[in-house]
Every structure is written in structure tokens, then in C-alpha cells.
Structure 1
Amino acid sequence: MNTDIENLFKDKVLGHPAGLFVLFFTEMWERFSYYGMRAILVIFLTGAITGSNPGWGWDTSAALSLLGTYALFVYLTPIVGGWLADNKIGYRMAVVIGALLMTLGHASMAIETPTFLYIGIALLIVGNGFFKPNMTSIISKMYAGKDDKKDGAYNIFYMGVNAGAFIGIMLCGWVGEKIGWSYGFGLAGIFMFLGMIQFYLAQPIFGNLGDKPKNENKGMIDTLAENSDNKESTKLNRFSTLDYTLIGVFIVSALIFIINDPLSKIGNIQSLNFTVAGMTDSLFFALLAAISFIVLLIVRIPRYTPIERDRMIAFTIFCLFTIFFWAAFEQAAGSLPIYTRDFTDRVLEGTAGSVFKIIDLLVTVVPMGIITYVLISLFKKTFNKIGLSNIVLGVSFLIVWAIIIYKLYVEFSDPKAEVPITWFAILNSLFIIAFAPLFTKLWDSKYNPPASVKYGLGLIIMAIGFGLLAFATKDIPLGAKTAKLSMFWLVLAYLFHTLGELCLSPMGLSYLSKLVPARMVAFMFGVYYLAIAIGNKLAHYIGGDIEKITEESGLSFFFLIFTIVPIALGLLSFALHPLLKRLMHGVK
């Protein structure tokens, strides 16, 4: 029996180990920082270079190219960070290193010069690689042998994720828009720093859990591999020369695209400067990377044993749907803030303004009140053991409450209400908190649909949100730069996008663990995150053309792209149900 794990379960908060809530708040501050920064990045970069709070006046395509490359690396670096934690430095040290690097990254961005912007984003990418995979790894170790409690633990943890995103977008967004962009970026850094200090000072509560791995772990892994029932199939499917060649072509082509795309759009640096069949060099290498990866799957997957082969094919199909889902969904970080700023009437007067202020007060204070209650519960159980950590956490909350009170005072003092551009981004987290329990009950009931239906529903429901925006913008003339459309359409769009996300997003990792052979789970986690990374980059690659498409075909046509394609893919997912059911060989 692991003594450290048993000790963790002695001090409980809301029925779970107090250590879980240390992780809850650490993750909450990290998500606060990540989503708070992301909420203002594109608006800042593309904002007018004049006025009381000037931006940098970048083209939309340049700003979204940078965002897309950043988002892509955010999902790829955890593969390296997870390996380093598993084999070299341990989970807890990886979290501390990641948090420190991200703190420096946010601080760098607050300086507001191009050089420090790029340095800051690089630090955020590397820091995220250390931080992101290892928080969940600590929870997995914490609940070893307690599988009946693990689902509840992850639900609590992901409430911290959404709480952090919610508060971060609201406060960093408001401070960035109403006070100054540097203050918004700096605020993200302050709470990342406080989260790091709080976690570091809470180390005693974890005992040896998440420490630097010992050498005997490797021997144990090797022994398990030798005794594995899958040893024969592993031998049968070693990487061939062709496999390595295709992997090399994929990596080189992808890196050329990833680097060349922002260079050409931001700095007009044409590092290659050629066209092939009408395609730019960036697009050519993106296509080459895609083709080489598809060919790799085609030549490699058939070499598995029949059942493994079929399940891998099913998982690959789900990954393809995942790419296109995120390519549409992640417009929320790129093109939708542009739409919100330029085409939405955000000024409310009279009764409408008063109603919004009351709604804003409730959605700000009520979640913070609930989280503060959790904080007090943690204090009662752990103050004797990790008092300094609790003090840092308490100071963090005092700062948040001070900003909230100041924000509400400023907003209620203004006779009219001007809704911040970033306010709409909080709706995703708000709707997740509201609807996630309903979806959890549905998936646990007899009405739980099969995987292909969930993916189809996710794509189609999300597409309805874009369809509403396409309808709302149908009368905007070609090339229009501004309009004053109702906020109602935007709220509905975010609602349907979130409902689609709840159908599809939680399914990916669940089906990965069921469909993929145990010896390949780590590798296929990388493939799954690669799919999300590609989806993020594709989202902002297409979204960067919102102004060009609006001028040539209309804003409504732009949103129709993200309506028609997901609906078609959703219907395809429904149609593939019989095939996918056979390929999954009984996996539910």
C-alpha cells in the first residue's frame, strides 16, 4: 500500500483529498492566465494604433497566423514535457518549471514590444509543455487503486479549469480593454506566479507523490513489456525504413509550414518564395505534411493484428473528425472576437443596460462565491500543514475580489453599458458549468449514444451556431467594415458551440484509452493531440482570411463555411456508424 496516497486521503475536502484542491487551484490560476491572455491577444494585435488604448494595427491574417502557431505548439509540447516528467524530473518539478516559464512569458508580453512578444509566446509554449500533462498525471497517481473515485476527481479538477478560464477571460479581458493591454497581460502573469508559489509551498502535502522517478521504474516497465501479451504484435510492427522516411518528410514539411506561415504574414519574410500549381510555399508544405502522414497511416496500420488494425482505423477516423471540429470551434479565439468588435452592437442603454449590469454582477460574484467557499474548506483542513501556501492562495483571492469590486463599481457608475469584446468568450465556460452535469447524466443513462453519433451530434450542433451567425449577417453588404447586429445572435452561437463541444470533446481521450493497445497509449495520445493541434492551426489559417472572404463573398459566406462543412461531416459520421461499430469490435 502506498503510504503517501493513504495519507492524502486522510484530510478530505468535499469527500476528496485536500491535495486534489491544491491541484484544483493551481490549474485554475494557470487557466486564468492562459485564457485571459488569449482573450485579448488578437484584439490587441489588430486594434487601431490610435486612441486611448491603442493596439498594433496588425492585419487579421498576421495576428491569427501567430495565434494559430502558438495554439499548435501548445498541444504538441506536452508530449515532450510529459516524457521528461515520466523519465527525468518528476511531475511536481515539471509543474513548477512550467509555471515559472509561463510567468516569465506573461511578464515579457506585458512589455508590449515585438521582441518581447515573441519571447513571451516562446516561454508560454515551453512552459505549457512542462505544466499541462503533469497536473493530470499527479491526479492519476493520487487515485491509484481508487478508480471508483477517479471520475469524480477529474470532474472537480475540470471545474477548476473552467473556473479559471471564466474568471481569467472576464478580468484580464476587462482590464486589458478598459485600462490597458499591458495591465491585462501583466495580470495574467501575476496570477500564474501566485499559482506557482502556492503549489511549490504545498509540496509537503504530497509526500513522495510525483517525485523524480527512480531507476527501478524503468526496469519494471521493461519487465512488463517482456511479459506483455502483445509482444508478438509489437515485433511484427516495428518501424520500417519507409515509416521513418515518411515521418521525416512529415516533420520537416510541417516545421517549414509552421515557421514560414507566420514569417511571411507578420514580417513579409518570404523564406522560400515559390508557388506550385498555384499554391504558396506554405500551403504546399502543409499539403505535403498531410499527405505524408496519411500515407504513413495507410502503410503502417494494416500491419497490426486484425482487431488492433480495425480499432486503430476507427480511432484514426475519429481523429479526422476532431481536426475539423476544432478548426471550426477555435474561431472563438480568432475570427469571432473580430466579428464581435466590428459587427456587434455592444452599447446598451436604459433598461437593457441595467439588466446587463445585473447579469454581469451575478455571473461574476456567484461563481467566485462558490470557489471562495471551496477555498475556506481547504484552509480548514490544511492550514496546519501548508499554511504559507494557503496564505498565498488567500492573497490571490483578495486581489481577485478587489478587481471584481472595482470593475463592478466602474460599470455601475457608467449610465450606459458597453459590453467588453472579451465578455462573450466567458459564455463557453459558463455554459459548460451549466450543462456538463446534464450531459454526464445522459452519457451514464440507457440513452447514451454510440461514438459515431456523439461525434456527428457534436459537429452538427456546433454548425448550427455558425448557421445562426450566417443568417444574422446575410444582409451585410460586400466589403462592409462595420455593422451593429444584435448580441443575441452571438450568445446563441456560443451556446450551440458549447453544446457541440460537450458532445464531442470529452469523448476523444475516453475512446483513445479503449481502442488503442495499452503499450501504445502514450504514442497515440501524441497523435490525438497532434489532431487537435492541426485543428487549431487550420482554424486560424482559415479565420485569418475573414476580411478577404468578407470583401469578396460576404461575411455570411464566411460563417456558412463553418456551417456546411461540419454538418456534412456530422452526417458522414452518422452514415459510418455500422462500419465504425464493426471496426471497434465491441468497444462501447
Structure 2
Amino acid sequence: MNTTTDNFFENKVMGHPAGLFVLFFTEMWERFSYYGMRAILVIFLTGAILGDNPGWAWETPAALSLLGTYAMLVYLTPLMGGWLADNKIGYRNAVVIGALLMTLGHASMAIETPTALYIGIAFLILGNGFFKPNMTSIISKMYEGHNDKKDGAYNIFYMGVNAGAFLGILLCGWVGEKIGWSFGFGLAGIFMFFGMLQFYFAQSLFGKLGDKPNKIKNKEEALKAAEKTEVKLNKFLTIDYLLIGVFAVSALIFIINDPLSKIGNIQTFNFTIAGMTDSLFFALLAAITFIVLLVIRIPRYTKIERDRMIAFTIFCLFTIFFWAAFEQAAGSLPLYTRDFTNRILEGNSALVFKIIDLIVTIVPLGIITYVLLSLFKQTFKKIGLSNIILGFSFLIVWAIVLYKIYIEFQAHETEVPVTWFAILNSLFIIIFAPLFTKWWDSKFNPPASVKYFLGLALLGIGFAFLAFGARNVPAGAQTASLSMAWLVFAYLFHTLGELCLSPMGLSYLSKLIPARMIAFMFGVYYLAIAIGNKLAHYVGGDIEKITQEYSLSTFFLIFTIIPIAIGFISLVLHPLLKKLMHGVK
């Protein structure tokens, strides 16, 4: 046991420190705002400029280029935010700063002007960098000496992640589509603001945990760690720094130039090489440079370390392909849902949907409210103001939910919101995550290569449903009335794939990589996710072009064939990966 963290377990909620549930709700509101905004961004940008709730009528490549750059930077800025928290400002200050920046970002986006949009997205990217890495860091510190409780703590925390995603998509999506886009963006900001205040006024629960770092103490710990290890460090050489510089500059040019060229028709360099645009050239240069860096650097480690890092790098490549397909859920899938799906329900069909919507809304919200009341019982005397803010925010949620239900049941005809289908991912995670946890803890727990195969194959099967459903949509069609069932099946299999593959990255990072190199390889892993997100919307932006030249079914076949093929490569590589992992399971 760790006496410095034992006091956190004095006031327990559901067997865990009350502070964990403060983090649970803080993260829930942040995910509410993130997924709520993301759910309506592309539909708003590409929506018709005329009508009751007009959009901006952007071209699809422009809208998805902006989304892709945003999603990419969201996974890169935490590397800097984590470093600042570790070395300068402390975890708790970083969370408050991040939440404040994201609140300002959402508020700016609610203004609905191009300048406000770009400022808002910049604030969201910076705020996410401060916020994202430091919530889990606080949990890690809180549970030092209580490793037997840590898995359960992270499970509870990630339920907060999914609860926030679920409620954010549901409410911001409905408000944005049915009432007005500004209200949808604004709602995301309101709850981010409440999350910040709730966390700020609950800090007394954490004691000195997450305070500004003690530089002298950190230096002493670093020296002790260096004395204990007998491993020769792999120092960065001049060639390493040169490659990192070329990679960083090339990647930055691509990240900036891609949206500039597609949104504002601003060509930063305006050249073509071997048929490649300047954006694609710099993207390829960045990719090649980074691969060369890994090829040069990794062999300089000892044999076992080298082999395990190679195995982890291969897993990172699989990760890129997974997210490049999976993240169509934020870009091309909403467009498919809006333009090619029959979402009008009447009679018994409408009634059945209303009942299903009622159940999937009220039941999760009721469970979360029960957790809220449990937290109140344990902490109201100590952090009353934080509890009041949290309680008030839930009253607003319940008011919006009840108003939504009332409006929907009054309507004779139901038009299912485009964003409603995105809640299925969080819903399926909540349903199936416990089953997968039991599977991984059993004697039937498959090896890494099989998990990556399952994740990629299930993802591909999800897109196969969409490709099959769109098989009769002719080339060039701009609308269709396909069954909503294809979307439900797609989200189900995508989620099952996510449960197989998504948790594996950080798990194998901790198992395969020595502690002194985790920071570098953590950056590699986050870079893989960032590239996957950008690639997803770079390719997804061509949905209209591919549909015009070939067919809608062809577009989804691309995301069927490639993930399944990569999954089979994972299976074929199993003997090699097993050898490279040197006993790590």
C-alpha cells in the first residue's frame, strides 16, 4: 500500500475514491462537448445554404479536410500538454486551462462566422492538448500502491468517456439539427464550462496530487533512476535530429496546406511532381522521413528491445489503417446518412423508434444520475459548490431530454436525426465492453496478431453491409432511400472491431517498451492515430467523386477490402510477431 494515496480511499463511492468520480464527470462533460461538436460539424458545413436551418454549403473535400486536420492535431497536442504538466504547471492546472480553452472554442464556434470557426477550432485543439493526457495521469497517481484497483478505476473512467460521447451526440446533434446549429455548438460549450467549474471547485479532494512539479525532487528521482539502470541509452544523433526536423517541417506544411488549398483555394507552393500535388508530396516526404528515422534508430537498441520496438511499430501501422477506416463515422458516414438513407418513419415504425429512443436515452441517463447522487452523499459537505454545479448541469440535461421526448412524441411523422446513428457506437461499447473484458481475462484470450485481425476484419465487415446496401445505387446518384438497418449493422461491427483493437495499443506499449523509452514510442503511437484520422478524412473527402465516377458501393468496398486484407497480413505475421515480442503476451 502507498500511505500517500491511502487517504483518497477514505471517502469511497462504489468502492473507489470519490475523486475518481469527479474525474469521471469532468471527462464526461469534455467528451460531451468534443463528440457533440464533431457530430454536427460536417453536416453543418456541407448543409444547404437555404432552408429552415441553413448550413454553409461547403464542398465535401473542404469540410472533411478541416475535420481531418482538427482530428489529427487533437492527437498530437497532448504530447506537448503532457510535457508541460509533468515539468511546469502540474496536472490539475493543465486540466483547468484545457477546459477553459475548449469552452472558449465552443463559444466561438457558436457565432457561426468563418473567422470564429477557425478561432474556435484552434482553441479546441490547444485546450485538448492540455486536458486529454492529464486526466489519466491524475488517476495513475491516485492509484499508486493500489494496482489491484487500477483496472476497475480505468473501466469506470472510460464509462464516463462513453457516457459523455453518448449524451453529447444525442443532445448536441438533436438541438443542432432540430433547433439551430449555433445552439448545438453552444450547448457543447455550456457543458464544457460546467465541467471546468465542477473540477475547479472539487480540487480539495485531491490534496497535493497534481500540483506543480517539484523540480529538485524530479531531478533527484531522475538521477536515482539513471543510477539503477545499467542499460546504455540510445542518444539522439545529428542524423536523428535532421530527420526529425525534415519530418516536422514536411508534416506541418501538409497539415496547413491541405485545408488551405481545399477551403480557400490557397496554394502555398503550387507545384506538381510526378502527378502529386504539393500537399501530397509533403505528406509522402513526411511519411518516408519518419520511416527512415525508425529504420536508423531502432536497430541501435539491444536485440530484445529492438525486436519488441519493431513489433510495436508494426502494430502502429495496423492502427493507422484501422482509424483511417473507422473515422469515416465522423466524415463520410454522416453524409451517407443524410443523403442516401430513408430516415422518415410513419405509423407503427415511428412509434417503435420513439420507444427505442426513449429507452436508450432514459436508461443510461438514469444510471449516470444514480452515480451522481452516490457522489453527492459522500462529498457534499466537502465540495458542496462543485456538487451544486454538477447537479445544476444535470437538471439542464434532464430538461432538454424531456423536452426532446415531448416534441418527438407530439409529431405524427418522425425524421430520425442524422446524428442519432452515431450514438450507436457508445451504446454498443457500453453493452459489449464487459463481455470483451471477460474474454480477454479468460484462458481463451487470443494473441495480439489475432486481436488486430479481428478488429480490422470486423471493421471491414461493417463497411461490407454498407457496400451491399448501396449495390443498386447508380453511379452519379446524389440521393437514395436506403434502409437504416445497414447503418445499424455497420456501427455494430465497427464497434466490435474497436473493442478488439483499440485498447491494444496502450496495453502493448506498456508491455513491450522499456519505461525509459515509453515517451518516444507513446509519441509514435499517437502519431499513428493522428495519421489515421487525417487519412480517413483525406480519402473520405472523395466520397462524391468516387460515387460520381464509379458508385457509392465502390466507395464502401474500399473500406471493406483494405482493412480485411491488412487483418489477414496480421495473421500471416503471427509467427514473426510472436518471435519479436520475446514472450510478451
* TM-score of the two chains, using structure 2 as the length reference: 0.99
Conservation of the 8 A alpha-carbon contact between 2:5 and 2:145: no
Residue 350 (structure 2) aligns with: 353
User: Is 2:337 the partner of 1:340?
Assistant: yes
Q: Deviations over 1:490-517 (max 9, x none)?
A: 0000000000000000010000011111
The 5-angstrom pairing of residues 150-161 of structure 1 reads 150-161=150-161
2 CA distance for matches of 1:58 and 1:191?
28
1 CA distance for matches of 2:205 and 2:382?
7
The alpha carbon displacement at 1:245 in A equals: 1.2
SS in 2 for 1:144: coil
Counterpart residue identity of residue 469, structure 1: L
3-12 or 392-401, which deviates more: 3-12
- What percent identity do the matched residue pairs reach? 79
1 CA distance for matches of 2:39 and 2:226?
48
User: Is 2:455 the partner of 1:458?
Assistant: yes
User: Is 2:367 the partner of 1:370?
Assistant: yes
2 CA distance for matches of 1:215 and 1:34?
34
Q: Deviations over 1:272-306 (max 9, x none)?
A: 10000000000000000001111111111111100
Q: Deviations over 1:7-42 (max 9, x none)?
A: 211000000000000000000000000000000000
The 5-angstrom pairing of residues 181-260 of structure 1 reads 181-232=181-232, 234=233, 237-260=234-257
Which residue, out of 501, 506, 524, partners 1:504?
Answer: 501
Conservation of the 8 A alpha-carbon contact between 2:48 and 2:56: yes
Conservation of the 8 A alpha-carbon contact between 1:225 and 1:231: no
SS in 2 for 1:348: strand
The 5-angstrom pairing of residues 404-419 of structure 1 reads 404-419=401-416
The alpha carbon displacement at 1:221 in A equals: 3.2
User: Is 2:573 the partner of 1:587?
Assistant: no
The alpha carbon displacement at 1:416 in A equals: 1.4
Which 4+ residue blocks in structure 1 deviate beyond 4 angstroms?
1-4
Conservation of the 8 A alpha-carbon contact between 1:4 and 1:208: no
SS in 1 for 2:171: helix
The 5-angstrom pairing of residues 263-274 of structure 1 reads 263-274=260-271
Counterpart residue identity of residue 79, structure 1: L
Residue 449 (structure 1) aligns with: 446
User: Is 2:514 the partner of 1:517?
Assistant: yes
Residue 299 (structure 1) aligns with: 296
Q: Deviations over 1:247-279 (max 9, x none)?
A: 111111101100000000000001110000000
Conservation of the 8 A alpha-carbon contact between 1:109 and 1:185: yes
2 CA distance for matches of 1:61 and 1:531?
22
1 CA distance for matches of 2:244 and 2:430?
40
SS in 1 for 2:145: coil
SS in 2 for 1:58: coil
Residue 531 (structure 2) aligns with: 534
SS in 2 for 1:482: coil
Residue 175 (structure 2) aligns with: 175
Counterpart residue identity of residue 102, structure 1: M
Residue 470 (structure 2) aligns with: 473
Conservation of the 8 A alpha-carbon contact between 1:4 and 1:209: no
2 CA distance for matches of 1:578 and 1:5?
43
Counterpart residue identity of residue 182, structure 1: S
2 CA distance for matches of 1:4 and 1:450?
37
1 CA distance for matches of 2:520 and 2:407?
50
For these two proteins, the number of residue pairs brought into alignment is 585
2 CA distance for matches of 1:336 and 1:553?
18
The alpha carbon displacement at 1:2 in A equals: 5.8
Residue 557 (structure 2) aligns with: 560
The alpha carbon displacement at 1:228 in A equals: 3.7
The alpha carbon displacement at 1:230 in A equals: 4.7
SS in 1 for 2:65: helix
SS in 1 for 2:76: helix
User: Is 2:437 the partner of 1:440?
Assistant: yes
Residue 79 (structure 2) aligns with: 79
1 CA distance for matches of 2:313 and 2:523?
13
* TM-score of the two chains, using structure 1 as the length reference: 0.99
Residue 134 (structure 1) aligns with: 134
Which residue, out of 494, 498, 501, partners 2:491?
Answer: 494
Q: Deviations over 1:395-425 (max 9, x none)?
A: 0000000000000000000011110000000
SS in 1 for 2:479: coil
The alpha carbon displacement at 1:229 in A equals: 2.5
Conservation of the 8 A alpha-carbon contact between 1:4 and 1:206: no
2 CA distance for matches of 1:290 and 1:26?
36
2 CA distance for matches of 1:338 and 1:230?
56
Residue 397 (structure 2) aligns with: 400
SS in 2 for 1:322: helix
2 CA distance for matches of 1:413 and 1:255?
51
Residue 27 (structure 2) aligns with: 27
1 CA distance for matches of 2:364 and 2:468?
33
Q: Deviations over 1:60-109 (max 9, x none)?
A: 00000000000000000000000000000000000000000000000000
Conservation of the 8 A alpha-carbon contact between 1:260 and 1:282: yes
SS in 2 for 1:479: coil
The alpha carbon displacement at 1:4 in A equals: 5.3
Counterpart residue identity of residue 254, structure 2: F
Which residue, out of 543, 559, 571, partners 2:568?
Answer: 571
179-188 or 290-299, which deviates more: 290-299
1 CA distance for matches of 2:61 and 2:581?
41
2 CA distance for matches of 1:187 and 1:313?
44
1 CA distance for matches of 2:365 and 2:499?
23
Residue 105 (structure 1) aligns with: 105
Q: Deviations over 1:143-168 (max 9, x none)?
A: 00100000000000000000000000
2 CA distance for matches of 1:230 and 1:581?
27
SS in 2 for 1:227: helix
The alpha carbon displacement at 1:224 in A equals: 3.1
Conservation of the 8 A alpha-carbon contact between 2:272 and 2:278: yes
2 CA distance for matches of 1:353 and 1:4?
56
